[in-house]
Amino acid sequence: PDDPVGFALHPALLDAALHALAATNGTAKDEGGMPFAFTGVQVHTTGARTLHVRLRRNADGVGVEAVDPTGQPVVTVESLAFRPVNRESLAGSPSSAARLLRMRWAPVPEAAAGAKESAEKSESAPEWVLVGKGAGGHADLAALTEAMDDGAALPGLVVLSCLGAPGESGDESVGAARAEAMLVRLLAEVQAFLASSRLADSRLLVLTRGAVTTEEPMSPVDPAMSAIWGMIRSAQTENPDRFVLLDLDPQDVRVDDDALLARILPAVLAGGLDQMAVRGGELIAPALGGIDEDEKDRLRLPEQGPWRLAAGSGGTLTELSTVPCPEAAAPLLPGTVRLSTRATGLNFRDVLIALGMYPGDATLGSEGAGVVTEVGPDVTGLAVGDRVMGLIPDAFGDVVVANARTVAPIPAAWSFAEAASVPVAFLTAYYSLVRLADLRPGERVLVHAGAGGVGMAAVQLARHLGADVFATAHPSKWETLRGLGLSDSRIASSRDLDFRTAFLDATGGAGVDVVLNSLAGEFVDASLELLPRGGRFIEMGKTDLRDVAELPPGVTYRTFDLSEPEPAQIGDMLAELLALFADGRLALLPTTVWDMRRAPAAFRHLSQARHVGKNVLTLPV
């Protein structure tokens, strides 16, 4: 102890002396018991800071002798008795984990009923009014005050829109200036609201978009919008029941906000909450929940392997489980290597398999990274201990076997998670654009879903090849495409067919030479119309394959997957890609990393198409 003064023997020192019992096979009489009673205690000297302890078993328990570093006696105990304790009782009650809490966003249960009740109320006075530029209502609170001076009814809720400001800039100084300007304007409006005697019984709802993250893994937020939440939370503390925060879905920037508000605000009024968000059209609010609830969505990985992740028979993501995989421990065939897995890439193919929507008897996992633990006959260039990455079947397991020609050494600067994010995305892009489409400099190529893993890899590779790249993505992900070097005239939404007209206009009606497609239905038809001069249509999807005989003249239609190339071809392409990475011509994708035990949540996240780049699962080591 730092300060033994005031104690005959400092309690912490006595407690530490008893820790030596852990080195014995339990206590003298009751293994697993707790210290209960001291008999015959003698303190020989005070002020001790260090003890040397000897424990002796006796008929009544354990005797204790403690001396200082010089050998002088400090304390002796004739007998320390123990009291039996049920070990299960030490684990606590089943509900004890619930005492540890975390924040979760959950649907507002009263929303539907509240909306119905609000809709049935009299329309003689408006319940809410909009304020803010572009909000479709009053320009500001001063304009609202003028309207009330002219006889407008007093609103119960004033909705102050902060949606009219331009999006976040990649320039930090510009972004900071934007946030400051928004906060200065907001502060003035808040002060005016609080100073208005006529609005003393009203509440102010501040409307943002993308200010908070409501799911795992945490998604990027708009810093300026987040700053608004910080300011209003302070105002809520100082003025209870006067302010409400409502954050709209950053994924739905093309939604009619006025129509959404007309549907959502009655529920907001009825809910009585002060912080809410809209995600996927649903009103949600933060609430505390026990951390034990995480176990419902968490896999228990076997202590003994080998094992692999498997889909259930019911076609739901909740059925994901681990199953024994004895074949991973079988003697190696010539040309194969055994790996201890460290990370695996998650692809939409895996989601389709888990949902029972993928044709055939495919198994989960196709890429990963790990450490070589055994080398099979006829393998050269790889040794035990090497860090490798590549195409690996059944990759979602602790031990896997791979063809030595489909893996390659991991660059020294890369983590296992980074390495696992590369193979499928970049090999797919390379095989489709270089080997199948034979994309040439100056040609135009359309990449659908350009903000996904394959899409981002394809955009990078096509630009490296000198092509004029067009891409579609959800509007909330357009900034990602801009970051890859695409101008706004080369970007369109993947949620509607406007890309057809936009890209025909941008090319003077010439369209493109190559389409790399992952969409279906009428999106395929619209994409084919972008090949008026003929061209190559490379189909990555599996759900909407077309009859070649019915395609427009001059269009070469090609479907594929990465099972087609021979292992040697995979190895060659992987080597070429790694060389491009080494030269700085390609860059790693943004990657969301999940613990393998969170696989159900990771699969669900990917199925909702809210990600940018890649998702990777890592194994605890």
DSSP output for 567-621: HHHHHHHHHHHHHHHHTTSS-PPPEEEEEGGGHHHHHHHHHTT--SBEEEEE---
Lowest mean pLDDT among 78-82, 514-518, 576-580: 78-82
Rounded-to-integer distance, Cα 140 and Cα 134, Å: 11
The model's pLDDT over 85-133, given as tens digits with 9 standing for 90+, comes to 766 655 555 555 456 777 888 888 654 444 444 444 434 445 788 888 6
Superfamily of domain 426-568: Medium-chain alcohol dehydrogenases, catalytic domain (3.90.180.10)
Rounded-to-integer distance, Cα 486 and Cα 471, Å: 8
What per-residue confidence (pLDDT) applies to 125? 42
Task: Determine if residue 559 is left, alpha or beta; phi over 0 gives left, psi from -120 to 50 gives alpha, anything else beta.
Answer: beta
The whole-model pTM stands at 0.65
What per-residue confidence (pLDDT) applies to 166? 45
Rounded-to-integer distance, Cα 244 and Cα 186, Å: 14
Name residue 459's amino acid: V
Domain boundaries, the chain: 11-86, 104-109+126-290, 426-568
What per-residue confidence (pLDDT) applies to 61? 83
Contacts of 488 (CB under 8 A, 6+ apart): 478, 482
**For 342-415, where are the alpha helices, taking DSSP H only?**
348-354
Hey, what's the torsion of the CAs at 377, 380, 382, 388, to 10 degrees?
-90
The model's pLDDT over 360-391, given as tens digits with 9 standing for 90+, comes to 888 999 999 999 999 999 999 999 999 999 99
| 199 vs 98 pLDDT, higher one | 199
| 609 vs 313 pLDDT, higher one | 313
| 376 vs 605 pLDDT, higher one | 376
| 437 vs 150 pLDDT, higher one | 437
> Which fold does the domain 104-109+126-290 belong to in CATH?
Rossmann fold (3.40.50)
Do residues 135 and 164 touch, judged by C-beta distance below 8 A? yes
Q: Angle, nearest 10°, between helix axes 567-582 and 423-430?
A: 100
